[in-house]
């Protein structure tokens, strides 16, 4: 059964079989996008099939009902503008009660036609479950706040899948180190989990090599750069990594950059292990491949952590690229090792992670677990 949701503030109504209902029928299964009230329901989301939460961004060639939808939405938008101009207090009224019922039905019918078209004409993506888990996590994060503002991530804007924040979000991804000191947990401590040299480890994984159990640049110093000073070895590694013209036989023997590109790049598109297809030229192909694979691997791991935290007071506070920050309740301290193990054990082996704790986000200290 298909359905659409009209949500305002904390109230929702559902359009099902041509009618508006206050309660969602148990058999409702297919819709356009996710809302927090669906968290524990078995529902499929068309927006995740095509990696966009905005129907307006769909081309009419991708779905023949898009133009009709845009026309109806434009009429709906005019009503919203009129409501705003009349200065009606929408905090005290369900805004969709102020819209003509026939127009709301047209709007929902148009969304339903697009939803049906997506399910009928697009295969369920390999990355679907990973992306759904991410959407659930970022919706949970959005409904909390940092210093009075929400962190609102956009999981669809970046072509590689790397998270960016939406306009109006708390700027967690670009926050200065000084301002980080102003961020405090709701519970007792922040717990930070950050992969050691994540992109280098991802390339090593794609090359089929085993993950080093020590810092990867220290490992490179010992095994590739003949004891070269660490910072120089790190600089030389990255100078080689993302420069298609750079050659280094010792690095190529281990990391197999050219072999990896032959496997995942066809001169027009990168096809990642998560079955994402990304247009790319030769200059950006490797960086897109590594960044996208790293992003989805990270999302896969934080979903496992999130599952562990169910029924605990500890929760995911926010993410900064491959850095996961938990708001830790002291009663859950005994679970830290299990959390770290789940975060570290990936489909490509165990990735070394840096663990930090702190009473605010600007003053975090490393800890070692035995």
* pLDDT tens-digit readout, 312-341: 999 999 999 999 999 999 999 999 999 999
SS3 content of the chain, % helix, strand, coil (to 5): 45, 15, 40
Instruction: Report the candidate in 352, 369, 348, 306 with the shortest Cα–Cα distance to residue 132.
Output: 306
Q: Across-strand partners of 191?
A: 326, 357
Collect the ranges in the chain with pLDDT lower than 70: 370
* Domain 126-370, second-level architecture: 2-Layer Sandwich (3.30)
| Predicted TM-score (pTM) of this structure | 0.93
Q: Report the distance separating Cα 171 and Cα 150, nearest Å.
A: 9
DSSP string of 131-147?
HHHHHHHHHHHHTS-BT
pLDDT of residue 57: 77
The 10s digit of each residue's pLDDT in 33-42 is 999 999 989 9
Longest Cα separation, the chain: 74
pLDDT of residue 270: 97
SS3 state of residue 106: helix
Could you give the count of Cα atoms lying within 13 Å of 105 in the half-sphere of its Cβ? 8
Q: Report the distance separating Cα 98 and Cα 255, nearest Å.
A: 61
Tell me the pairing of strands 30-31 and 44-45. Answer: parallel
pLDDT of residue 55: 87
Q: Range(s) for CATH 3.30.70.370 in the chain?
A: 126-370
Q: Where are the beta strands (DSSP E) in 58-99?
A: none
Instruction: Report the candidate in 148, 181, 176, 174 with the shortest Cα–Cα distance to residue 358.
Output: 181
SS3 state of residue 182: coil
The single residue listed with the structure tokens 């307006």 is 56
How buried is 188 (Cβ within 10 angstroms: 0-12 exposed, 13-18 middle, 19+ buried)?
Answer: middle
Provide φ and ψ at 339, rounded to 5°: -60, -45
pLDDT of residue 293: 98
Contacts of 307 (CB under 8 A, 6+ apart): none
pLDDT of residue 364: 96
Could you give the count of Cα atoms lying within 13 Å of 56 in the half-sphere of its Cβ? 6
DSSP 2: B
- Write out the two tokens for 93: 């009224």
pLDDT of residue 122: 93
**Cβ pair 128, 50 in contact under 8 A:** no
pLDDT of residue 42: 94
Tell me the pairing of strands 19-21 and 349-350. Answer: unpaired
């Amino acid at each position: 059964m298909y359905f659409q949701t009209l949500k305002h503030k904390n109230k929702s109504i559902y359009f099902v079989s041509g009618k508006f209902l206050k309660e969602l029928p148990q058999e409702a299964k297919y819709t356009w996008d996710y809302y927090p009230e669906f968290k524990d329901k078995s529902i499929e989301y068309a927006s995740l099939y095509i990696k966009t939460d905005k129907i307006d961004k769909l081309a009419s060639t991708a779905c023949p009902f898009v133009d009709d939808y845009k026309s109806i939405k434009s009429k709906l938008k005019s009503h919203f503008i009129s409501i705003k101009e009349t200065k009606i207090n929408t905090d005290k009224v369900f805004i969709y009660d102020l819209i003509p019922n026939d127009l709301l039905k047209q709007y929902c019918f148009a969304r339903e036609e697009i939803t049906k078209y997506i399910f009928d004409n697009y295969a369920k993506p390999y990355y679907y479950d990973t992306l759904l888990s991410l959407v659930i996590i970022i919706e949970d994060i959005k409904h909390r706040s940092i210093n009075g503002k929400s962190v609102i991530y956009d999981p669809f804007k970046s072509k590689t899948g790397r998270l960016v924040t939406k306009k109006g979000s708390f700027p967690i991804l670009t926050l200065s180190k000084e301002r980080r000191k102003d961020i405090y947990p709701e519970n007792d401590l922040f717990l930070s989990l950050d992969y050691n040299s994540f992109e280098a480890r991802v390339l090593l994984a794609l090359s089929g090599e085993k993950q080093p159990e020590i810092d990867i640049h220290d490992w490179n110093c010992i095994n590739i750069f003949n004891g070269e000073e660490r910072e120089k070895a790190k600089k030389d590694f990255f100078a080689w990594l993302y420069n298609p013209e750079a050659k280094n036989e010792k690095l190529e023997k281990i990391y197999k950059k050219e072999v990896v590109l032959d496997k995942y790049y066809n001169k027009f598109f990168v096809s990642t292990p998560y079955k994402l297809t990304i247009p790319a030229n030769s200059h950006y192909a490797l960086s897109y491949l590594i960044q996208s694979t790293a992003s989805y691997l990270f999302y896969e791991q934080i979903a496992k952590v999130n599952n562990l935290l169910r029924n605990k007071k500890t929760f995911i506070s926010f993410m900064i690229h491959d850095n996961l920050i938990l708001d830790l309740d002291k009663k859950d301290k005994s679970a830290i090792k299990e959390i770290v193990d789940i975060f570290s054990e990936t489909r490509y082996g165990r990735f070394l992670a840096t663990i930090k704790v702190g009473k605010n986000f600007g003053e975090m200290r490393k800890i070692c677990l035995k």
